[in-house]
Structure 1
Amino acid sequence: MDHYEVIERALTHIENHLDQPLSIESVADSFNMSKYYFHRLFSAIMGSSLNNYILSRRLNASLQYIQSGELSLTDIAYQLNFGAQSSFTRAFKRQYGMAPSALKEQKINISPVPIPAVVKRPVKNINGDVVTDFTLTEFESIRVTGIAFEVDLAGDYRTTIRSHSDKLLQAIDTTVHGPCYVIYSNCQPNSTRFRVLFGIPADIRIDQPFYFTVDVPQLFCAKFKYSGDLLDIGDVLKTDYARFLKISRQETEDSHIELIQAFDDIHNLQSAYHIYAPVKKLSMDSAC
């Protein structure tokens, strides 16, 4: 059983036992693993500690109980092992921005979310810490032609990116194959809004609004490899990048380009791809 399968089975195990006591020890024991290694592996793969993940899934499970109106809040807290209603209420407010009583009274609909997908990428053990594998590399300068738009990562950015990638595919000849890039640049410091260019490194002309040709400069980057949907990595990438900076002792480059996703085939955005994050080019003696 590889580490992805271990975590996938652990997620199912957790979901089936939310009404029972769960701990790092009990979950790790279910897979005959050391609790220390399992905790590091889970955090690396899921981008969250096991305890935080269990808490989030219990709160997610509480939504159905609250909205059905069949149980009191005290009974829900007891059913999902919160210990006390006050603990349940505090945690619920942190995750959903309202008290569970307000959700119950105002009949606001918050849909439970399914078990998250396991984001697949190579990992390695560095000094006892399980981290996503990375390389330091030069991203060579390229000219990219494509469609430009803005997304707000605090909103439904997935739908926006997918709709614009479809527009580009409709605008180019079906015989065009090869790599494509999703290039993100921040609109302003500390903003959740990003400018995005979805394009291909081909000399094509598209006489429609919002289509541009951009020269991407050479960049020194941390390179990560992922598999699956281009939009499923979310907080996992944030955790991977934070660990990378800590382990490698690198620093983020002050570049207008925040991130580049590179796919081998523009017609297959569900395949493996690379993430390039610009970093300062420090002495290699300071890197692992």
Structure 2
Amino acid sequence: MNYIALMNEVIDYIEENLNTAINIDELANRFCVSKYYFIRIFKAVTNYTVKEYVDKRRITEAAKELIKNKKNIIDIAFEFGYESHETFTRQFKRIFSITPMELKKKGAIIFGYEKIIIVERDFKNLNKDLVVDFQVVHEKELKLLGKMTQFDPSNEQSIAELTPFVESFVSDYIEKRNICRMYNVVMNQNEISQFGYFTAFKYQDNIQEVDLGEMVIQETTYAVFKYRADLGEIHRTVMNDICRTIVISDLSFNKIGIEFFLVFEEDYFETNEYTIYVPVKK
């Protein structure tokens, strides 16, 4: 079964029917899948339950209507399938931490939940569940040379600013030295919102760069994942995939000073494929 194609059809159907009642039995029947498998596939591919996805998309679209239209709150609530003002307000505040009235008065900017982008990747059955495909490997100590910056993983603009940082490193170092493999290391620097992002290549004795820093990643075991898309666009899906897979696989994250690192081979611009190494322990 092509899970990606199926879920793309399901998401399109949900998006076209956000203002009507949607339930799992109806969806499973419509797409000719048993309810049991439908629940597993939807959760694995989207990292949401059907109810979570529908609730967040419905309330996001309702919030947009509140901001741009002069309709009464109750009318918008009814339009999106809510039975009462109270139910709508309770759900709204649960997701956005403000009430519909507060949003309407202040015209606040909210970061809602847009239509999900279904990321193409492979899956496998594990412990009676469906998870994104991965391998467990053991790697020796890794010594890198590179440059460090910081970013806020909860801020889309901050994540977007990593792209020119990496592109500059590729231009200044990777291309000039014909280096075949680039590493991007993500680490939590014990700050609430700031993470470190170290873009690098493997240490070589014959390369001396006074403006580059060194990093040593200790020998350890990794869960290894492959993706074929711009990480900046799919980072939420990737992080949810990793967390869910680690839990289901009975592994645990190994705190060795980094969260994970990405490896980009020289054919990345042709394949759009990269590998993510997450330190784990059994």
TM-score of the pair, normalised by structure 1:
0.87
Structure 2: how far apart are the matches of 1:253 and 1:173?
A: 30
Letter in 2 for 1:28: A
Listed one character per residue, the Cα deviations across residues 28-66 of structure 1 (whole Å, up to 9, x for unaligned) are 222111122111111111111111011111011112211
Is the Cα contact below 8 Å between 2:56 and 2:113 reproduced in 1? no
Percentage of identical aligned residues: 24
CA-CA distance at 1:228 after TM superposition: 0.5
Task: Give the 3 Å change call, closer, same or farther, for CA 234–174 of structure 1 in structure 2.
Answer: closer
Hey, what does 2:161 align to over in structure 1? 160
Hey, what does 1:285 align to over in structure 2? none
Is the Cα contact below 8 Å between 1:47 and 1:235 reproduced in 2? no
Hey, what does 1:188 align to over in structure 2? 190
Hey, what does 2:16 align to over in structure 1? 16
Structure 2: how far apart are the matches of 1:245 and 1:169?
A: 31
Look up the SS of the partner of 1:279 in the other structure: strand
Matches within 5 A, 1:122-141: 122-141=122-141
Matches within 5 A, 1:25-64: 25-64=25-64
Is the Cα contact below 8 Å between 1:46 and 1:118 reproduced in 2? yes
Note if 1:272 corresponds to 2:273: yes
Look up the SS of the partner of 2:20 in the other structure: coil
> Which structure 2 residue ranges, 5 or more long, are not aligned?
none
Look up the SS of the partner of 2:233 in the other structure: coil
TM-score of the pair, normalised by structure 2:
0.88
CA-CA distance at 1:111 after TM superposition: 6.7
Structure 1: how far apart are the matches of 2:175 and 2:225?
A: 29
Is the Cα contact below 8 Å between 2:218 and 2:256 reproduced in 1? no
> Which structure 1 residue ranges, 5 or more long, are not aligned?
283-288
CA-CA distance at 1:244 after TM superposition: 2.9
Matches within 5 A, 1:62-211: 62-110=62-110, 114-155=114-155, 156-172=157-173, 174=175, 176-188=178-190, 191-201=192-202, 203=204, 204-208=207-211, 211=212
Is the Cα contact below 8 Å between 1:77 and 1:84 reproduced in 2? yes
Q: CA RMSD in A?
A: 2.4
Is the Cα contact below 8 Å between 2:225 and 2:277 reproduced in 1? yes
Task: Give the 3 Å change call, closer, same or farther, for CA 248–84 of structure 1 in structure 2.
Answer: same
Look up the SS of the partner of 1:232 in the other structure: helix
Look up the SS of the partner of 2:161 in the other structure: helix
Structure 2: how far apart are the matches of 1:44 and 1:128?
A: 12
Structure 1: how far apart are the matches of 2:237 and 2:164?
A: 24
The size of the alignment, in residue pairs, is 278
Listed one character per residue, the Cα deviations across residues 75-111 of structure 1 (whole Å, up to 9, x for unaligned) are 1111111222212112212222211111111122447
Is the Cα contact below 8 Å between 1:229 and 1:270 reproduced in 2? no
Is the Cα contact below 8 Å between 1:69 and 1:104 reproduced in 2? no
Look up the SS of the partner of 1:119 in the other structure: coil
Letter in 2 for 1:198: T
